[in-house]
Amino acid sequence: ATAVFTAAAAPAASAASAAPAVPVGAAAATSGNPILPGWYADPEAAVFGSTYWIFPTSSAPYAEQTGFDAFSSPDLVQWTRHRNVLTTDAIAWAREALWAPSVVERDGRYYFFFSANDIKSDQELGGIGVAVADRPEGPYRDLLGKPLIGTFHNGAQPIDQFVFEDDDGAWYMIYGGWKHANIVRLKDDFTGVLPLADGTLFKEITPAPEYVEGPLMFKRDGRYYFMWSEGGWGGPDYSVAYAIADAPTGPFKRIGRILQQDPAIA
């Protein structure tokens, strides 16, 4: 649940290798901001092959938030919209409020993780699901026919998932709302979770008391960087902070905020 975006991030090395040559003295082409028309939030940026992708949430009232569009670009300047790459028509258990996509590639197939139904208790059907397709633009189909994670663990609402592969080939997912974040290790086929090194299935790694939602993790120089949203999404205190740890399971030390409102701008 991050703010409506105005730019997409991509790994620096990939961006550099894919950037077109610009004659000396010529101005580089830019996309301008916002880079996409319409109301979108929660952008997931990825590079598949030589193409940049953005998978955002279609920001609408929950009853109307029933599908995902995707956007692709060869250069981060010109973008193509791919409409309805995944909708509730392909997910029998999802009725509304699809959001927070996380898309990864494994063995030539693409796996689209999503949140659905905004459940408030274990008695409701919903949570985190996963769909699969043969192309980044879909169409995606439900992989399990049920949520991958559909109940509360350690107080974390099953929403806002982020999936990543560690250097040793292990796949992890961090997720969680309601001020709690969990990490799970995923099975290689993404059909369930495996025990972590300490034997737990759902390990709480809430990085700081300020944590609210929207987790993301990446590894750099052997250390794990955990970013999240804090504050209230509808207010001026909504911001993004980060923490660092030596392992994906923590413990994490909060460093500070990296994105916050500037009242002089908006």
Residue of 112, 36, 41 whose CA lies nearest to 81: 36
d(CA 119, CA 174): 18
Q: Mark whether 213 is an active-site residue.
A: yes
CA-based angle 59:8:60, to the nearest 5?
Answer: 0
Q: List own/partner pairs for 225-228 with CB under 8 A and 24 or more apart.
A: 226/174, 226/252, 227/258, 228/181
- Which of 44, 137, 160, 213 is flagged as catalytic? 213
CA 53/CA 44 separation, integer angstroms: 8
Q: Is there a contact between 8 and 14 (Cβ–Cβ < 8 Å)?
A: no
Phi, psi angle pair for 152, to nearest 5°: -85, 140
**Of 42, 44, 142, 160, which residue is the catalytic one?**
42
**C-alpha torsion sign, points 234, 239, 245, 247:** positive
CA-CA distances (angstroms) from residue 79 to 28, 194, 251? 16, 38, 39
Residues with a known catalytic role: 42, 213
